[in-house]
Amino acid sequence: MSREYLLSLSTAEAQVQALTSLRGIGEWTAHYALMKSLKVPTALPYGDVGLYNALFKVKNLPKKPSRAELNAVFAPFRGWEAYLTLYLWRTLAKR
């Protein structure tokens, strides 16, 4: 599957579906690829442990958030999920 093919798809959901149709590519990998390679601002790497750790640190979440809880945290930033993820990851590097 080529970068050009993925870019030709009309939505990020279609891109995720295309990537996850490949053996060994799960949802996290697909979203991470969209974030880092295709610069898709709505990509949200569900299942990312670093993201959960950052949310625990920043939002003091008592446990791993469910998908619905994660979506609720990101709702005010709809359209910019990948950027918020990057900022949250950066909080882990600060001491």
At 12-49, the pLDDT tens digits run 899 999 999 999 999 999 999 999 999 999 999 988 88
Pick from 53, 35, 54: nearest CA to 45: 35
Question: What confidence category does residue 94 fall into, taking pLDDT thresholds of 50, 70 and 90?
Answer: low
Task: Give the C-alpha distances (Å, rounded to integers) separating 48 from 8, 12, 52, 94.
Answer: 27, 18, 6, 18
Distance in angstroms (rounded) separating the CA atoms of residues 2 and 21: 14
Pick from 45, 63, 44: nearest CA to 53: 63
The single residue of 28, 29, 46, 48 carrying the catalytic annotation is 48
Model-wide pTM > 0.85? no
57 is catalytic: no
